[in-house]
Amino acid sequence: MKKSTLGILGFPWDGGATLGRPGSRFAPQAIREALQWFTNRIGDQKVYDVEKKRLVDLTKMELSDYDDIDIAAYSTEKTFQNAEDSVRELLNSGVFPLILGGDHSISYPMIKALHDQTEGKVGIIQLDAHLDLVDDSPVQGRFSQSSQMRRALELSRIEPENIVQIGVRGYNYPWYETYLKETGIVQITAAEVHQTKPNQVIERTLAACEGVEKIYLTFDIDVLDPAFAPGTGANEPGGLTPVQCLSILEGLYPHINAMDIAEVNPLYDHHGITSSLAARIVFDCYTALACRGN
């Protein structure tokens, strides 16, 4: 029996943490350790989903760890090329890539790899407190944790109307008002998520991605309220709850083709709370993909 594979790939990089707190390079290992809490429940290639009251058959879906991307600490360009090559290799092998960052700058080479392997349009779903649409700045440059979505928009088959930002909140630069009106990026703010149901967020998100060939999902852990995820690069009050995030993600897993988890920062975590949440997301994705098509 031929198995499908969810491939974990670590991206221990915080070279793009130009404003946020560095330390997310330690996240891949911390998330892997937390993931053992879930994987040790697997028996006879099955696991029991307590919340759904069902037995999940894992015989057709393998969870494999492909180690870490080669980091060239002296060069963002070299590191990002290594990352792009690694993800492209997984995609060519039919593996679903799940990348563990790393600050949020890591998303751009991942998105580019999926984009370049796709003939049609690519949609992006971004769960995040921040917009990450800064073009350039003397402090941050062009490839920081604040710019990966702006760089993605420069790719030829990614259109702003196929980008959905979920959970964004707080305050930002004045130029955003005009930029967002002109581009037409779809936003579902944290306040809007709080005022609606997860299934409505899912429906609106998938509607924006209608007609695309592939979808990339990027999950910045700071989309969660700091009360639930203290270990991250920047704290923004008013965020989502774990239940909201897990419910929204559950409805999106069947539709996506690659994803990352960014901005987990073990240096600012408390008793591994944030890493545990990230690990739960990894395992949820694994079981969801195992059930896809069944």
Q: List binding-site positions.
A: 104, 128, 130, 132, 220, 222
CA distance 20 to 6: 30
Beta strands 122-127 and 46-49 are unpaired
Phi-psi category of residue 45: left, alpha or beta, with phi > 0 → left and psi -120 to 50 → alpha = left
Going through 102-169 in order, the beta strands assigned E by DSSP cover 122-127, 163-166
Of 103, 55, 119, 105, nearest in space to 77 by CA? 105
Give Cβ neighbours of residue 89 (< 8 Å, ≥ 6 apart).
none
138 alpha carbon, distance to own chain's centre: 27
- Please identify which residue in the block is written with the tokens 């393998």: 62
Residue ranges of the binding site for Mn(2+): 104, 128, 130, 132, 220, 222
